[in-house]
Structure 1
Amino acid sequence: MSLKIVDNTTQDPAHRRNPGFPLDRDWVSRVRMNRSALERRAGSIGARRTVKKDYQLAWLLKAITLIDLTTLNADDTDGRVERLCAKARTPLRAEIRDKLGVADKRILPGAVCVYHTFVHTAVKALEGTGIPVAAVSTAFPHGLAPVETKLAEIEASVKDGAQEIDIVIERGMVLRGDWQALYDQVKSFRKACGDAHIKTILGTGELATQTNIAKASLVCMMAGADFIKTSTGKEKVNANLVTSLTMIRMIRWFAEETGIEIGYKPAGGIATAGDALKYMALMKEELGNHWLQPHLFRFGASSLLTDIERQLEHGLTGHYAADYRQPMV
C-alpha cells in the first residue's frame, strides 16, 4: 500500500508571522456568539460523512504530524522526557511504516511539550530531528504568578532552546472584561518570546461563555499570538467542538480583516483517533485544507499517538494490537 503523504515541517517559510495590532475595543465590543447555533453546527461534524479505508489511514498519518506530544505531570523526570522524545523520533514502528509505504517520509510530531525544567533535556534528546520543543510557561496551569516571574520563565525557556512557548492567560481578566490588561500582558509575553512562537492558552472551560472565549481569542491575536489554544488540560472542561468552532471562526474573521493567519491548538481530552479526525474535519470545513499543517494546527495530547498507531495497525491487519505494543513513556 502506498499513500500520498506530504512531509511535515513545523514552520512554513512563506508564512507571515503575526506582528501584533493595536487593541481595537470597538471590534471586541462587536463580538457575539450564538451558543445554540454553535452547538448545532458542532453536532454535525463527523455525522454527515467520514473518511474510510486508505483515506482514513492517510488522515491518521497526517494527524501524527499535528501532535504536540506532551508530558505535563507532577512526577515527570528527565528519564520520562527522554523516553517521550525517543517516541517522537520514531512515532511508528518500522513494520507499520513499511507496510504503509511511507518509510521514506518525514512523519514526526509537530513538537514535544514539557515543563520549563525539562526543556534542556528535551532539546538534547531531539537534537538533529528538527522537532521543536514547546515549553509551558507563565505559572502554568493557573497563570497567577507575578508578571515579572512569568517573563523570567519565558526568557529562561527560550535561553534553554525552546522554540515555542505555551503561555497561560489570567482568566480573571476575561471574566472582568479587562481587555486592556489582557492585551498588555500577552503583548509583553510575546516580546519576551523573541523568535520563539507563542501559543496563548485561554483556559476556555473557566471563561463562562462562548462570547467571552471569542473576545479573549481576538484580544490575544491582536496582542501578537501565533496560536490560540483552548486549555491547559488541567481544567474540568477542556477542548470540545463547540469551543473550537468559536475560536476557529475568530481566527477566520481575524484573517479576513488583517491578512494574518493564526494557528489553533485544541488541548485536553483528545485521546482517540476518532477525536482527531473530527477536529481535522472541523478545520477542513471551516478554514480549508491549508490550515491542516503543523504551522497552523496542533493537537495538545499525550495518549493520542498510541490510539492512532493502534488504528493504523488495525487498518493493515484487521486486528487491534495491545497498548503495550505502542508504549509512550
Structure 2
Amino acid sequence: MTGTRFDPSWFEAHHVNLSATERRAATLTTRRTVKKDWQAAWLAQAITCIDLTTLAGDDTPSRVQRLCAKARQPLRDDIMAALGLDALRVGAVCVYPTMVAHAVKALEGSGVPVASVATGFPAGLMPLSLRLAEINYAVDQGASEVDIVITREYALTGQWSKLYDEIAAMREACGPAHMKAILATGDLQTLGNVYKASMVAMQAGSDFIKTSTGKEGLNATLPVSLTMVRALRDFREKSGQIVGFKPAGGIKSAKDAIAWLILMKEELGTRWTRNDLFRFGASSMLGDIERQLEHHVTGRYSAANRHAMA
C-alpha cells in the first residue's frame, strides 16, 4: 500500500447513522444463510483467514511451537480426508516480538507467515521512537506482518494530522512487511470516530485496518466492522487502492466466522473473503470450526476438548 496525502475532506463531514448501521448489521445473518456442504466450504475458507494468535504474558517458545504445529495442520487428518481436502493452512501466526524468531523457525517451509504485534501493544502509550524501534526489531526477527496500535488520544481529540503522521512513520518502519493498523475501536466512543480513524489509517498507507487489540472492554462487533468496511469501500472509490480488513477480539465461534464472511461478501464481494484481504484475529474460534466440521462429516458433536488448540 502506498497510501495518499493527508486529506481531511475525505472524512471530516462524514456522518455515521448509528441506528441505521445497527439495523443493517442485524439483518446480515438473517438475509443470507449457508447450510450443509456450503457451510463446510465457508468454514474451511474461514480457517485460511485466521491469524492464529497467542499474546499472553506467560508465552514460551514451546507454546509458540505448539501453536505453529496447529497452524500447519489446523484440522485432523480424518476430517481433512472426509472433506476431500489435501492441504489447509491458517492465514498467519501472530505473536509478541520476542516470540517471532521461534515462530519463524517452527513455520519454516510451511508458507504460513509470522505476524507480530508492536508499538507498545496493546495501549501504545510509549514514545514514538521506541514504538518504531519495536517495529524494526520485529521485522529483523523475521515478521512479515506487523500489527501496530494507534494513539487513541489523537482520534478522541480530533488530531487527525498527528494520527496520520504517526501511522505514516510506522508504515515506513515496517519496510517490506505488511502493516495492520489496530484502531482499538472499543476506545473510540463513536462510529464517526471509527470511520475517520479508518480513513486516516488508509491514507497513511496501512495494508489492513483492524478493529481491536482484543484487550479492550468492547472488541469486534458487526456495526463497528460495517462502518470500517464502508470506509474501505469509500477509500477504494477515492484512491483506487485496495486495503484489507481484520476483525479481532471476541470472535469465538463458527457462527461468528460465517457472520463476518457474510459481511465481507455482501459489502465488498467475494474477493474480500480471501486471506490476502481478510483475516480474523482469533484462536479459540478454530476449535469450534473443527468441531462443526467433524459434525458435518460424522453427524455427531464431539466434546470441545477433542479439538485442542495445541
TM-score range, shorter chain: over 0.9
Match of 1:3 in 2: none
25, 42, 56: which one pairs with 1:42?
A: 25
Q: Contact conserved, 2:148 with 2:181, CA < 8 A, in 1?
A: yes
Q: Which runs of 5+ in 1 are unaligned?
A: 1-17
55, 74, 91: which one pairs with 2:57?
A: 74
Matched ranges for 1:228-243 at <5 A: 228-243=209-224
1:195 to partner: Cα distance: 0.3
Q: Contact conserved, 2:182 with 2:212, CA < 8 A, in 1?
A: yes
46, 55, 70: which one pairs with 1:63?
A: 46
Q: Secondary structure at the match of 1:45?
A: helix
Q: Contact conserved, 2:32 with 2:262, CA < 8 A, in 1?
A: no
1:49 to partner: Cα distance: 2.8
Q: Does 1:178 align with 2:159?
A: yes
Q: Does 1:288 align with 2:288?
A: no
1:48 to partner: Cα distance: 2.1
67, 72, 75: which one pairs with 1:84?
A: 67
Match of 2:129 in 1: 148
* Aligned-partner Cα distance in 2 for 1:29–1:204: 18
Which digits, 9 at most, give the CA deviation of each residue in 1:273-324, with x for residues without a partner?
Answer: 0000000001000000011111100000020110000000001111111222
Q: Which runs of 5+ in 2 are unaligned?
A: none
Name the Cα RMSD after superposition: 0.7
User: AA paired with 1:42?
Assistant: A
Match of 2:257 in 1: 276
Match of 2:302 in 1: 321
* Aligned-partner Cα distance in 1 for 2:197–2:178: 19
User: AA paired with 2:225?
Assistant: S
User: AA paired with 1:72?
Assistant: L
Higher helix share: 2
Q: Scaled by the length of structure 1, what TM-score is found?
A: 0.93
* Aligned-partner Cα distance in 1 for 2:219–2:198: 16
* Aligned-partner Cα distance in 2 for 1:31–1:155: 35
* Aligned-partner Cα distance in 2 for 1:60–1:279: 11
Q: Does 1:127 align with 2:108?
A: yes
Which digits, 9 at most, give the CA deviation of each residue in 1:239-264, with x for residues without a partner?
Answer: 00000000000000001111111000
1:146 to partner: Cα distance: 0.6
Q: Scaled by the length of structure 2, what TM-score is found?
A: 0.99
Which digits, 9 at most, give the CA deviation of each residue in 1:185-242, with x for residues without a partner?
Answer: 0000000000000000000000010000000000000000000000000000000000
Q: Does 1:207 align with 2:188?
A: yes
1:22 to partner: Cα distance: 0.5
Matched ranges for 1:179-194 at <5 A: 179-194=160-175
1:30 to partner: Cα distance: 2.1
Match of 1:54 in 2: 37
Match of 1:258 in 2: 239
